[in-house]
Amino acid sequence: MRRIVIVGAGLAGLSAAEELRRRGHDGDLTVIGAEPHRPYRRPPLSKHPLPRAQADVALGSADHLRATWVLGTPARHLDRRRRLVQLADGEQVAFDGLVIGTGCRARELPRALHRGLPEVITVRGVDDLARLRDHLLRRPRVVIAGGGFLGSELAGSIRELGLPVELVERARLPLLRALGPEVAERVSRAHRERGVVQHLGRVVTELLGADHLEAVRLDDGTTIPAELLITAMGSEPNIEWLTGSGLALTDGVLVDETGTAAPGIVAAGDVARWPHPWDRSARIRVEHYHGALAQGTHVARTLFGDAQRYDGLPSFWAHIHDLRLHSVGFTGGTHRLHIVKSHPDGRFLAEYRHRDRVVGAITHGFVRDLLPYRLTLKETA
């Protein structure tokens, strides 16, 4: 494979490129990215919403990769038979091997609802961060639509700036699906204690204001004064450009245990759906930093001829007010939670169990205790 193309200039694409060069690939390496930026770290976008510039989230120089960077122009079509990636500007890039790492895009309010109001923003990329910074410096009344990881972390970091924040979440608790009711209640309590007003079981149905946002209305008729609305309603995988390619596409790119989607084509990161390590009939798509890093490295090895079963485990960290949540394995409301230890100051360590089997663990304050779980879960996967 003399010509390797990576579509997606994020963390998965970067880690794949680095591993290919480490493995001795000395042929052409082209990285295609929809954004005009080289790879950067996304976690600070929610944990620290006021970095000074794009350099504050950059992943460092990638000059050592000796890659051709095609940035600011997304891929539009994959021609598997001719081994070509067609770009939005009509250019075609030939490949022998292809890494798909196009990630996800944020779900947004329907345009008919937000009407292009400038005070409605979605934080997905570094350019969104610049807009958010400009708005926050004006010290607005903030409403966040969505109480998942992004929405909850933004609520915490914006409250630290002393701004009023109201959180609108469709579920009865923030992060209920991702963490389960016991841990989600701890998140909700942290919001209450830090002054975040929560509207749970509610959705935004109307934005009020002619040329500028003045308030949002919820499905129960509640009207909330607002000068900034941040939408954080989850994400969708960027797979439209693969329509008609013949790849299996179901909420992402379906890959086998090695990360292969088709001969000479692999996928990694937020866009890839892998076989579940314990349930071969199920597929999982992991949208966390460590997953993109590990999967990018893994599929590069696969493309280089070292096809092995991927044994990485989902893991995440989240900073929500004073809560410093770290997890490994599988979490969420479909599993039973068992508190292993807790402390009066709020620290805790808990296991997630499925059919009497430990499938994951989560902690606030006992991070070192996660290491045995990481080792044990990997051995039993």
Query: Is the alpha carbon torsion for 221, 222, 224, 229 positive or negative?
Result: negative
Using alpha carbons, select from 104, 115, 107, 188 the residue that is nearest to residue 145.
Answer: 107
Which residues 6+ apart lie within 8 Å of 160 measured at CB?
none
Which residues 6+ apart lie within 8 Å of 196 measured at CB?
155, 156, 159, 165, 166, 167
Per-position pLDDT tens, the chain of length 381: 899 999 999 999 999 999 999 999 999 999 999 999 888 776 555 566 554 444 455 666 678 899 999 999 999 999 999 999 999 999 999 999 999 999 999 998 988 898 999 999 998 887 888 889 889 999 999 999 999 999 999 999 999 999 999 999 999 999 999 999 999 999 999 999 999 999 999 999 999 999 999 999 999 999 999 999 999 999 999 999 999 999 999 999 999 999 999 999 999 999 999 998 877 778 999 998 889 999 999 999 999 999 999 988 999 999 999 999 999 999 998 899 999 999 999 999 999 999 889 999 999 999 999 999 988 887 766
Where in the chain are the domains? 3-105+236-303, 108-233, 322-380
Distance from C-alpha of 122 to C-alpha of 229, rounded to nearest angstrom:
9
Would you say 309 and 258 are in contact if contact means Cβ atoms under 8 Å apart? yes
CATH code of the domain made up of 108-233: 3.50.50.60
Domains 3-105+236-303 and 108-233 in one fold? yes
CATH code of the domain made up of 3-105+236-303: 3.50.50.60
Residue position matching structure tokens 């990694």? 268
